[in-house]
Amino acid sequence: MKVNSPSQDEIRARAFALYLERGRRPGHELDDWLQAEFELTHRPLRVAHLQPLRARRNLSQRLRGRFSVRFSKQ
């Protein structure tokens, strides 16, 4: 399993974004840092997992368009 190693600046930026999303309430600095580190470290695994799902969804949408036209003409 390949794990991404984010830089301190990337983690800092994501942790700050989490702080802003929370409404700028102090007291969760460590939580924000750990959450940001986790998200950035596991990001490639999530994206790699979702790409086949997107491909299947796109294929099913294209096929659904073909079949709906064919069956609607009868």
Dihedral over Cα of 46, 52, 56, 62: its sign: positive
* Residue 52 forms part of a structural domain: yes
What is the per-residue pLDDT for 9?
A: 95
How far apart (Å, rounded) are the C-alpha atoms in residues 58 and 54? 6
* Residue 14 forms part of a structural domain: yes
What is the per-residue pLDDT for 31?
A: 95
* Residue 45 forms part of a structural domain: yes
Contact 2, 47 (CB under 8 A): no
Q: Which domain holds residue 38?
A: 8-72
Render pLDDT for 28-42 as a digit per residue (tens, 0 to 9).
Answer: 999 999 999 999 988
In the chain, which stretches have pLDDT less than 70? 1-3, 44-74
What is the per-residue pLDDT for 63?
A: 58
* Residue 40 forms part of a structural domain: yes
What is the per-residue pLDDT for 35?
A: 94
Confidence (pTM) = 0.55
* Residue 2 forms part of a structural domain: no
* Residue 3 forms part of a structural domain: no
Closest CA to 17 of 4, 35, 43, 5: 35
* Residue 1 forms part of a structural domain: no
Number of domains in the chain: 1
* Residue 21 forms part of a structural domain: yes
